[in-house]
């Protein structure tokens, strides 16, 4: 919702947003349990909850690049001449070229295109890890299957129908017991990654989340809705109770007035606004411990143009927003630690197609960012030249690192959850040294 | 048969509300009431009366023969407000592209809300997702697709719709087949016609099959401002082997004959048993319940096979009394929710336009029309939509309180302004039951609404509006 929609909504309470301070003063009375007791889903295995991980667990920000992001443009293997052979019109020039579009060297083999330049400071600070040749080991080039399987954390298994991050949250105690909201998707719908999470909601704009209509009957109407929805069925029943609790909580937070730290300026894009709101919620310290965001525009079958056109624009949006988030929440240091993970469903063909684009491939680049990430490097596994015999189906960067290796290590070491068998059922991750021990 | 089912209480084993013993199991849970909820975009007094008059089969037949339903008022509105819908690409390409889009979306919303051909409009929604096309990518071409692919075949035969879609300029552009040429293969359409339009992702084809099918489709492109054209110069005349089907090589001089490669494969796909299954599964999921059983899928698929994909015949197999009585509830998508609220509260002849509803509120509710970017269509899953309750509650407040001419609630349905003293909690609850549920409103919800109305010492129209908004906001109203 943009600001000009307030009048139409008659959302008078949007005008009486108060500071976080007043929320903290009254939070005893506004705790999520005031209206409803939530029930854990039936599938939740019995686990022993630690008293608290507070201070030792990171908040996780999960970002999905929807559409199959071309890893060979996100992080360019300029050291391999075959990259240039396969892409006569859409390759990023070598760092030693004189082109304005030349790659920015990350090491002596890989580089960022100019579109990713806003992430160079995070990389140089050692907070950003690039994982190359990562992805889903299950061979599918369907967007929907691949996204679905990555979000669920297991491919082709009908018994797994919740998201990996949802299961993580369901098997850990809340960072704050009274939290009415543990996880959000910054969107109109809950991402599958978070499916199954207790107290998770889609909130497109946390600054404008309130019930409209007359202020004099608002409490009465909310109570009525709570009663009526209280006997509905899931998933809507739980979502309604979470929504009612969250309305009360967010009414008392001044998300719109959030001031980023450290001079960070978020770009005015969907992801920029989403990460700015995420930072506000994280710093409000209200118990939000997982945020999911999507950014689309990666399905570059035509006119991909990672130098100056479409993909350059999408990468600039990504790196601009993430760079600002790094500056705001990670570079400066926080009382609350944050880890960011960025995944896409697959990469794209090594060779460009006839429309200056690339068709669906396999391995791609993923990213992890945080003070607890062992970054400042491009992690690969048995990286080989892009000659046909080394490629998956003779056309694609193979998946040499299962995306779950990266996520599982973060779940265990940064999110303090040892239940990896529940978060990634049937998978034994390879621990690749993605995280640092707690400082 | 129908009468017996109506008089018989539903089998408790199939009762989706069985954990809620306070809910009425009368009317609301009958096969007929469930049918009306599924074939319309919102139950009205008129629709429920019609259903009871015609009986189960008569009512379903009535809607499946949509062209016989008199719909002049709606057609007149569309003719006046969306004159570009019948235009050829040549008349559209040079316009400000917001104009054709606005006419398409506004007329779609108006028709879905107020056409008497309600099942026809629900099928338009269903097939528009099945053959999803994002407006922004194809712009004015979407108008032709809506007219010549979706609406033309919506109650016809699936193979005809698929063929029309394969030749649709909008689809060829949306899934990049316009760029799929002999020397520069583009697999996008070849993949999605199998994965999304026919056999489904688990159909059994391989990546090699996708490439070979893409070769069959080389040269299927556009001419002029957006008319189908087969370009022999772009076609790969070599031999192809798609999914065990050998497509023999043709001499390069064969010209337009090369188009038959893909025509042959379309014929193969529409006859494939996995297509029968996948299309049946999707129809059952949209119209009946999220997780249809293998038996239900097989029953509809066998109708597909017997009738050559006749959509009305398949709908009869989806919407059987048995299926309806056994159906688990479906959570309304935002579009259905908004349309239901419109039908319950607005007088069509007084709705001059639907711009605010179409362009502001549908996006706020999460389902902006023709703006789903990936080709799989808006999700049809409760967990995707469940979180958006607040937006629904606020929309309910908007539509019951706004003074905008396009959405001004017909208060006379609920409130006697001539004799205000005659309004009581009971009269208002009865009116809400009639206009939001066709009279078949669950008892528990009735009691809760009555309680809200009775909580103040005097009745007022303001509180009545709130009670209507709360009813639209209720869980009961939001589940089919």
The pLDDT tens digits along chain A (439 residues) read: 333 333 333 332 222 222 222 222 222 222 232 222 233 323 222 232 232 333 568 999 999 999 999 999 999 999 999 999 999 999 999 999 999 999 999 999 999 999 999 999 999 999 999 999 999 999 988 888 899 999 999 998 877 889 999 999 999 999 888 788 999 999 877 899 999 898 998 898 898 888 999 999 999 999 999 999 998 888 889 889 889 988 988 887 888 888 899 999 999 999 999 999 999 999 888 899 999 999 999 999 999 988 888 999 999 999 999 999 999 999 976 656 899 999 999 999 999 998 999 999 999 999 999 999 999 999 999 999 999 999 999 999 999 999 999 999 999 999 999 999 999 999 999 999 999 865 4
Query: Which of residues 48 through 67 in chain A touch B, CB cutoff 8 A?
Result: 66-67
**DSSP conformation letters of B4-25:** HHHHSPPPGGG-TTTT-TTS--
The separation between the first and the last C-alpha atoms of chain B, rounded to the nearest angstrom, is 24
Whether the predicted model's global pTM rises above the 0.90 cut: no
Residue of A8, A220, A238 with shortest CB distance to B398: A8
CA-based nearest distance A197→chain B, Å: 11
Nearest CA in chain B to A196: B383
**CB-based contacts of B189: which residues, under 8 Å, 6+ apart?**
B171, B172, B175, B176, B177, B180, B214, B217
pLDDT, position B24: 34
Closest CA to A277 of A343, A186, A190, A199: A186
Q: Which residues from chain A sit within 8 angstroms of residue B22, using beta carbons?
A: 231
Q: Test B387 with A142 for CB contact under 8 angstroms.
A: no
Token reading at A357: 């684009």
- For residue A187, the model assigns a pLDDT of 87
Predicted pLDDT at A42:
30
CA distance B34 to A408: 45
- Which residues in A lie closer than 8 A to residue B19 (C-beta atoms)? 233
- Disruptive mutation site among A156, A195, A243 for chain B (greatest number of B CBs within 10 Å): A243
Q: What is the model's pLDDT at position A201?
A: 87
Q: Closest to A209 (Cβ–Cβ): which among B373, B390, B398?
A: B390
pLDDT one digit per residue (tens) for chain B, 480 residues? 232 333 333 333 433 333 333 333 457 889 999 999 999 999 999 999 999 999 999 999 999 999 999 999 999 999 999 999 999 999 999 999 889 999 999 999 999 999 999 999 999 999 999 999 999 889 999 999 999 999 999 999 999 999 999 999 999 999 999 999 999 999 999 999 999 999 999 999 999 999 999 999 999 999 999 999 999 999 999 999 999 999 999 999 999 999 999 999 999 999 999 999 999 999 999 999 999 999 999 999 999 999 999 999 999 999 999 999 999 999 999 999 999 999 999 999 999 999 999 998 998 898 999 988 889 999 998 888 887 899 999 999 999 999 999 999 999 999 999 999 999 999 999 999 999 999 999 999 999 999 999 999 999 999 999 999 999 999 999 998
Given an 8 Å threshold on Cβ–Cβ distance, is A236 in contact with B466?
no
pLDDT of residue A334: 63
The pLDDT assigned to B390 comes to 93
B246 touches chain A (CB under 8 A): no
Task: Output b/e per residue, A220-253; b: 16+ Cβ within 10 A.
Answer: ebbebbbebbebbbebbbbbbbbbbbbbbbbbbb
- What does the DSSP assignment read for A314-345? HHHHHHHHHHHHIIIIIIS--SS-EEEEEEES
Any B CB within 8 A of A143 CB? yes
Residue B126: C-alpha distances to residues A46, A241, B313, B479 (Å): 41, 30, 16, 18
CB atoms A243 and B389 under 8 Å: yes
SS3 label, residue B242: strand
Backbone angles phi, psi at A96, to 5 degrees: -90, 5
What SS3 class is residue A402? strand
**Could you tell me if B360 and B402 are in contact, meaning their C-beta atoms sit under 8 angstroms apart?**
no
Contact of A198 with chain B, judged by CB distance below 8 Å, is answered with no
CB contact under 8 Å between A188 and B391, yes or no, is yes
pLDDT of residue B35: 96
Minimal-distance CA residue of chain A relative to B452: A224
Give A145 to chain B, closest Cα distance, Å.
Answer: 8
Phi then psi for A319, rounded to 5 degrees? -70, -35
CB-nearest partner of B195 from A142, A202, A232: A142
Nearest to B165 by CA among B302, B66, B262, B100: B262
Contacts of A151 in chain B (CB under 8 A): none
């Amino acid at each position: 919702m943009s600001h000009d929609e307030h009048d139409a909504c008659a959302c008078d309470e949007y005008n009486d947003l108060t500071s976080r301070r007043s929320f903290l003063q009254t939070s005893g009375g506004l705790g999520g349990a005031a209206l409803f007791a939530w029930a854990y889903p039936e599938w939740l295995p019995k686990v022993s909850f630690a008293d608290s991980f507070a201070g030792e667990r990171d908040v996780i920000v999960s970002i999905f690049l929807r559409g199959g992001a071309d890893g060979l443009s996100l992080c360019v293997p300029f050291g391999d001449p075959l990259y240039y052979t396969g892409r006569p019109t859409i390759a990023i020039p070598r760092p030693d070229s004189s082109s304005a579009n030349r790659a920015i060297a990350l090491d002596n083999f890989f580089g960022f295109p100019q579109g990713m330049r806003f992430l160079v400071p995070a990389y140089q600070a050692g907070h950003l890890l690039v994982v190359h040749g990562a992805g889903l080991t299950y061979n599918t080039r369907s967007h929907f299957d691949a996204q679905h399987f990555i979000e669920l954390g297991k491919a082709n298994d009908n018994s797994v129908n919740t998201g990996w991050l949802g299961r993580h949250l369901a098997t850990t105690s809340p960072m704050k017991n009274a939290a009415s909201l543990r996880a959000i998707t910054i969107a109109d719908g809950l991402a599958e990654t978070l499916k199954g999470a207790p107290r998770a909601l889609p909130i497109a704009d946390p600054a404008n989340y309130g019930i409209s209509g007359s202020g004099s009957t608002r409490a009465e109407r909310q109570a009525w809705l709570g009663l009526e929805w209280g006997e509905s069925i899931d998933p809507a029943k739980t979502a309604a109770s979470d929504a009612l609790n969250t309305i009360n909580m967010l009414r008392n937070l001044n998300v719109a007035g959030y001031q980023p730290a450290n001079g960070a300026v978020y770009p005015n894009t969907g992801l920029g606004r989403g990460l700015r709101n995420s930072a506000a919620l994280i710093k409000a310290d209200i118990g939000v411990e997982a945020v999911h965001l999507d950014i689309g525009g990666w399905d570059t079958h035509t006119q991909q143009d990672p130098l100056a056109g479409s993909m350059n624009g999408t990468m600039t949006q990504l790196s601009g927003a993430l760079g600002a988030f790094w500056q705001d929440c990670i570079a400066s240091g926080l009382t609350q630690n944050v880890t960011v993970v960025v995944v896409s469903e697959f990469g794209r063909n090594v060779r460009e197609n006839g429309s200056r684009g690339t068709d669906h491939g396999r391995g791609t680049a993923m990213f992890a960012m945080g003070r607890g990430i062992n970054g400042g490097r491009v992690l690969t596994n048995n990286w080989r030249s892009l000659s046909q015999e080394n490629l998956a189906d003779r056309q694609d960067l193979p998946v040499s690192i299962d995306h779950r290796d990266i996520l599982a290590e973060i779940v265990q070491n940064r999110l303090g959850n040892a239940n990896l068998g529940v978060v990634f059922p049937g998978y034994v991750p390879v621990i690749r040294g993605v995280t640092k021990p707690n400082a | 048969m129908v009468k017996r089912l109506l008089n018989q209480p539903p089998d408790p084993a199939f009762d989706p509300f069985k954990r809620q013993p306070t809910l009425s199991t009368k009317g609301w849970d009958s096969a007929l009431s469930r049918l009306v909820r599924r074939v319309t975009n919102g139950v009205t007094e008129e629709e429920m009366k019609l259903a009871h008059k015609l009986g189960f089969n008569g009512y379903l037949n009535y809607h499946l023969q949509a062209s016989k339903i008199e719909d002049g008022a709606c057609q007149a509105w569309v003719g006046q407000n969306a004159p570009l819908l019948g235009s050829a690409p040549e008349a559209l390409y040079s316009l400000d592209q917001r104009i054709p889009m606005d006419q398409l979306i506004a007329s779609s919303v108006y028709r879905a809300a107020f056409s008497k051909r309600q099942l026809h409009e629900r099928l338009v929604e269903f097939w528009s997702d099945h053959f999803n096309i994002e407006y922004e990518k194809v712009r004015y071409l979407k108008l032709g697709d809506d007219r010549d692919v979706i609406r033309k075949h919506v109650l016809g035969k699936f193979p005809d719709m698929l063929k029309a879609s394969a030749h649709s300029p909008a689809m060829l552009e949306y899934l990049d087949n316009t760029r799929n040429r002999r020397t520069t293969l583009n697999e996008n359409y070849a993949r999605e016609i199998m994965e999304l339009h026919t056999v489904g992702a688990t159909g059994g084809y391989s990546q090699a099959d996708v490439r070979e099918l893409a070769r069959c489709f080389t040269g299927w492109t556009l001419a002029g401002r957006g008319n189908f054209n087969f370009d022999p110069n772009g076609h790969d005349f070599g031999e192809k082997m798609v999914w065990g089907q050998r497509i023999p090589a043709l001499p390069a001089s064969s010209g337009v004959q090369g188009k038959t490669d893909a025509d042959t494969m379309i014929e193969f796909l529409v006859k494939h048993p996995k297509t029968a299954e996948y299309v049946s599964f999707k129809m059952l999921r949209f119209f009946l319940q999220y997780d249809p059983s293998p038996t239900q899928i097989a029953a509809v698929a066998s109708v597909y096979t017997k009738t050559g994909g006749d959509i009305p015949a398949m709908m009869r197999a989806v919407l059987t009394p048995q299926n309806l009585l056994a159906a688990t509830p479906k959570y309304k998508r935002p579009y259905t929710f908004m349309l239901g609220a419109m039908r319950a509260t607005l007088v069509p002849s007084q709705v001059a336009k639907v711009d605010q509803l179409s362009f502001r509120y549908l996006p706020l509710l999460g389902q902006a029309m023709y703006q789903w970017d990936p080709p799989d269509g808006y999700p049809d899953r409760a967990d995707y939509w469940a979180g958006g309750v607040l937006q629904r509650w606020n929309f309910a407040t908007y539509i019951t309180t706004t003074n905008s001419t396009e959405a001004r609630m017909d208060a006379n349905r609920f409130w006697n302004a001539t004799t205000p003293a005659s309004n009581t909690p009971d009269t208002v609850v009865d009116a809400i039951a009639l206009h939001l549920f066709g009279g078949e409103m669950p008892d528990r919800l009735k009691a809760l609404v009555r309680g809200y109305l009775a909580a103040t010492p005097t009745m007022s129209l303001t509180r009545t509006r709130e009670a209507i908004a709360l009813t639209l906001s209720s869980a009961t109203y939001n589940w089919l």
